[in-house]
C-alpha cells in the first residue's frame, strides 16, 4: 500500500519549482594588477616546501597537531557537517516500522451481554512521518544554505590553518632575531668593558681624564641594560612560540645561529593578477556565506506559498497474532494537509525582509574580504621590494659604521680626537648592526605573511 504512495510523492517532487534568486557572484571591487609589474600568477607550494628550514618545519608540524585554536576550528567543521546532514535529510521522507498490541477486558457486570469479554488487536505497519512536499523549493533552499554554511566553516578552518603556519614562522623568526640581538649586545658589552679597562689604566697614568672613564663605563652599562632587556624579550618570545606549538616539547634555544643563516623563501613577482585573490580561503568563506544568505532569501519567499504535508501508514491488523500476516489483513491511513498563510501580522513578509537584509550584509562582507585581500597582497609586494633595497643599504651602513668605530678608537688612542667621537661611533655602529638584524627578520616575516595572504597550500607534501 505504501509503495504506490511513495512513488507518487517522488513524481510530484520531480516537478517542484525552486523559488528565489539563483546565486551570481558579485563583480569584484578590486580587479586588475596587484603591484607594479605584469599581471603574473603564482602557485604557492605546500608549507613544508615553502619553508625549507628543518627546525621551523618541525615546529609547524607540532603546531598543526597540537594547537588548541586549530582544534576548535576543526570541531566547528564537524558541527556544521552534522547540521547540513540534518537539514538535507528533511528533503526525503522518514519511514519507520512499528508494531503494537491492544488487549481489552470487560467484566460481566459491565458487559451488555452479561458475559465477560476480552478483545485483542495486533498491528504491524510502516509509517510515513510528517513530510513536506517541497513544491516551491523551501526545503531545498534551506539545504543549500546549510551546505554553504558547512563549506564556509571548512574555509574558516583553512584560514585558521594558514594563519597558524604564518604565526609560527613569524614567532620563530622573532625569537632567533631577539636571541641574536641579545648576543650582539653581550658581545658589545664585553668589548666596551675591555675598552673601559684600557681607559682606566690611562687615567691611572694621567693620559686620560676621569670624564672619559665615566663615559666609557656609561657606554658599558647601556650595552648591559640592552642585553638584559633583549634577553627578557627573547624569553617572552619563546613562551609565545610554545603557546602556538601547543605542547611541552623542546623549543629553539640561543645557539648563535643568526637570521642571516636562515633560507629565504621564493621571491614573488612584482606584479600579480587579482585573480589569485579568489583562491584565498577567507574570500571563499565570505562567498559561501553569501551563497547561504542568498538561499535563505529563496526559503523566505517560498514561505508565501502553500505548505503541503503528508502523514500516512500502511500495514496489517488482526485480532490474532498468529493470523497477523495471513489473508486480507491490510490496513492503511493517509492524512494530507495543506497550510496557506493568509494573515500573520506581517511575520512572513518580515522574515523575507530580514533574509534580504542579511544577504545585503553578506554581499558587503564579500566585497570587503576581496578588498582586504587586495590590500594584504599589495602590502606584501611593496614590503618585499623595499625591504630588499633597505637590506642592501643597511648591510653597507653596518659595515661602514664598524669601520668608522675602529678608526675612531685608533685616533683616540693616539690623542687625535676626544672620547665623545668614539662614543658617537660606538652608538652608531651598535644601532646599525641591530637594525641590520631587524631588517633581516622583517624580510623573513614578509615571506611568512606572503604565504598566508596568497592562500598557500595548507597540507604538507612530504611525510611528517
Q: Find the helix packing angle between 210-245 and 419-453, rounded to 10°.
A: 10
User: For residue 97, is it within any domain?
Assistant: no
User: For residue 117, is it within any domain?
Assistant: no
Q: Residue 411: CB partners within 8 Å, gap ≥ 6? A: 417, 421
| Distance in angstroms (rounded) separating the CA atoms of residues 2 and 250 | 66
Region 407-426: what's the mean pLDDT? 92
Domain that holds residue 155: 19-91+141-305+355-453
The pLDDT of residue 241 is: 92
User: For residue 245, is it within any domain?
Assistant: yes
Region 84-100: what's the mean pLDDT? 72
CB 89 within 8 A of CB 59: no
CATH number at residue 55: 1.20.1600.10
**How many structural domains does the chain have?**
1
CB 330 within 8 A of CB 1: yes
pLDDT of residue 4 exceeding 60: no
Written as one string, the DSSP assignment of 54-117 is: HHHHHHHHHHHHH-HHHHHHHHHHHHHHHHHHHHHHTTS--EEEEEEEEEEEE-GGG-TTSS-E
Tell me 325's DSSP state.
Answer: T
| Distance in angstroms (rounded) separating the CA atoms of residues 280 and 285 | 9
User: For residue 123, is it within any domain?
Assistant: no
Distances (CA, A) of 193 to 215, 424, 431: 12, 17, 18
**Tens digits of residue pLDDT in 30-68:** 777 787 766 667 778 889 999 989 999 999 999 999 888
Q: What is the dihedral of CA 220, 223, 227, 230, to 10 degrees?
A: 160
Tell me 21's DSSP state.
Answer: P
pLDDT of residue 248 exceeding 80: yes
Instruction: Return the bridge partners of 31, or none.
Output: none
For 66-79, letters b (16+ CB in 10 Å) and e give ebeebeebeebbee
CB 445 within 8 A of CB 173: yes
User: For residue 310, is it within any domain?
Assistant: no
User: For residue 293, is it within any domain?
Assistant: yes
Region of poorest pLDDT, from 133-142, 144-153, 239-248, 409-418: 133-142
CB 33 within 8 A of CB 269: no
User: For residue 155, is it within any domain?
Assistant: yes
**Tens digits of residue pLDDT in 305-322:** 777 777 777 767 666 666
User: For residue 107, is it within any domain?
Assistant: no
Per the listing, cell 507518487 goes with 8
Distances (CA, A) of 184 to 17, 21, 148: 73, 64, 53
Amino acid at each position: 500500500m505504501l509503495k504506490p504512495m511513495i512513488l507518487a510523492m517522488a513524481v510530484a517532487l520531480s516537478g517542484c519549482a525552486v523559488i528565489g534568486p539563483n546565486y551570481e557572484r558579485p563583480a569584484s571591487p578590486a580587479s586588475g594588477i596587484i603591484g607594479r609589474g605584469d599581471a603574473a600568477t603564482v602557485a604557492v607550494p605546500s608549507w613544508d616546501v615553502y619553508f625549507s628550514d628543518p627546525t621551523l618545519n618541525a615546529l609547524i608540524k607540532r603546531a598543526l597537531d597540537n594547537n588548541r585554536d586549530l582544534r576548535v576550528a576543526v570541531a566547528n567543521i564537524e558541527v556544521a557537517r552534522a547540521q547540513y546532514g540534518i537539514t538535507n535529510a528533511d528533503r526525503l521522507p522518514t519511514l519507520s516500522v512499528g508494531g503494537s498490541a491492544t488487549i481489552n477486558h470487560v467484566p460481566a457486570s459491565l458487559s451488555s451481554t452479561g458475559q465477560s469479554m476480552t478483545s485483542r488487536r495486533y498491528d504491524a505497519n510502516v509509517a510515513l512521518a510528517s513530510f513536506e512536499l517541497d513544491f516551491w523549493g523551501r526545503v531545498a533552499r534551506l539545504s543549500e544554505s546549510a551546505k554553504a554554511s558547512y563549506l564556509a566553516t571548512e574555509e574558516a578552518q583553512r584560514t585558521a590553518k594558514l594563519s597558524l603556519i604564518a604565526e609560527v614562522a613569524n614567532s620563530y623568526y622573532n625569537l632567533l632575531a631577539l636571541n641574536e640581538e641579545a648576543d650582539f649586545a653581550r658581545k658589545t658589552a664585553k668589548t666596551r668593558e675591555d675598552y673601559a679597562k684600557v681607559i682606566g689604566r690611562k687615567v691611572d697614568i694621567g693620559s686620560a681624564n676621569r670624564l672619559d672613564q665615566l663615559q666609557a663605563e656609561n657606554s658599558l652599562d647601556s650595552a648591559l641594560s640592552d642585553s638584559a632587556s633583549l634577553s627578557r624579550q627573547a624569553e617572552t618570545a619563546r613562551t609565545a612560540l610554545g603557546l602556538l606549538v601547543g605542547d611541552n616539547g623542546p623549543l629553539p634555544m640561543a645557539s648563535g645561529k643568526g637570521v642571516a643563516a636562515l633560507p629565504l623563501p621564493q621571491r614573488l613577482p612584482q606584479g600579480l593578477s587579482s585573480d589569485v585573490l579568489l583562491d584565498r580561503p577567507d574570500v571563499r568563506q565570505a562567498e559561501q556565506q553569501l551563497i547561504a544568505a542568498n538561499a535563505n532569501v529563496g526559503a523566505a519567499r517560498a514561505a508565501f506559498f502553500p505548505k503541503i504535508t503528508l502523514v500516512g501508514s500502511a500495514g496489517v491488523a488482526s485480532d490474532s497474532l498468529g493470523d497477523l500476516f495471513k489473508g486480507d489483513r491490510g490496513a492503511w491511513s493517509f492524512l494530507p494537509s495543506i497550510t496557506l498563510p493568509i494573515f500573520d501580522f506581517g511575520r512572513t513578509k518580515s522574515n523575507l525582509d530580514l533574509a534580504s537584509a542579511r544577504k545585503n550584509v553578506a554581499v558587503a562582507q564579500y566585497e570587503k574580504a576581496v578588498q582586504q585581500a587586495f590590500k594584504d597582497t599589495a602590502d606584501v609586494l611593496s614590503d618585499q621590494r623595499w625591504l630588499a633595497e633597505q637590506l642592501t643599504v643597511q648591510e653597507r651602513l653596518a659595515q661602514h659604521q664598524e669601520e668608522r668605530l675602529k678608526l675612531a678608537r685608533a685616533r683616540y688612542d693616539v690623542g687625535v680626537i676626544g672620547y665623545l667621537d668614539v662614543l658617537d661611533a660606538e652608538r652608531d655602529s651598535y644601532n646599525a648592526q641591530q637594525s641590520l638584524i631587524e631588517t633581516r627578520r622583517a624580510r623573513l616575516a614578509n615571506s611568512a605573511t606572503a604565504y598566508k595572504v596568497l592562500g598557500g597550500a595548507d597540507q604538507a607534501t612530504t611525510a611528517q
